[in-house]
Amino acid sequence: MNMPQGIPQRPMGSPQAPQSTWHLIVERHETATGGGFWGTDLLGECVGTREQALAMLEDRARHYVPEHPWNRKRTQLYRTVDGFMMITEGVRSSRRWTCRFLVAELLWDTGVPTP
């Protein structure tokens, strides 16, 4: 398998891997007329091991307050194979809002991120 130039070949996230840049990402399900869509936000960055990035992500997930619902009745935080998932129920609705939290190793970046 040919790797693009500039990307070192190494086992991703393994204990033998050198420190990497990990982005901490939240994916939110946004409700909209006729359905919904997923949006993403960058919660932070970790330079280190995958385990260090997951520990930082867990802290961010535990303190994350989703925009919706405005009046929360119940929030559950789950650990998944690749991160965390938050399910929130609103006081006035039977709907649930979902946020998925994940770490992703940055392999390359073409420039300065937009705000």
Model confidence, pTM: 0.73
- What is the distance between the alpha carbons of residues 109 and 52, in angstroms, rounded to a whole number? 21
Residuewise pLDDT in 10s, the chain (115 residues): 444 444 444 444 444 556 899 999 999 986 666 677 788 999 999 999 999 999 999 999 999 988 777 777 889 999 999 899 999 888 777 677 899 999 999 988 887 766 6
User: 113 Cβ partners below 8 Å, 6+ apart?
Assistant: 42
DSSP 81: T
pLDDT at 10: 46
pLDDT at 112: 72
pLDDT at 66: 83
pLDDT at 113: 64
Closest CA to 64 of 80, 88, 46, 89: 88
> What order do you get walking across the sheet with 83-90 strand by strand?
35-48, 20-32, 96-105, 83-90, 72-80
pLDDT at 114: 66
User: 44 Cβ partners below 8 Å, 6+ apart?
Assistant: 23, 24, 56, 60
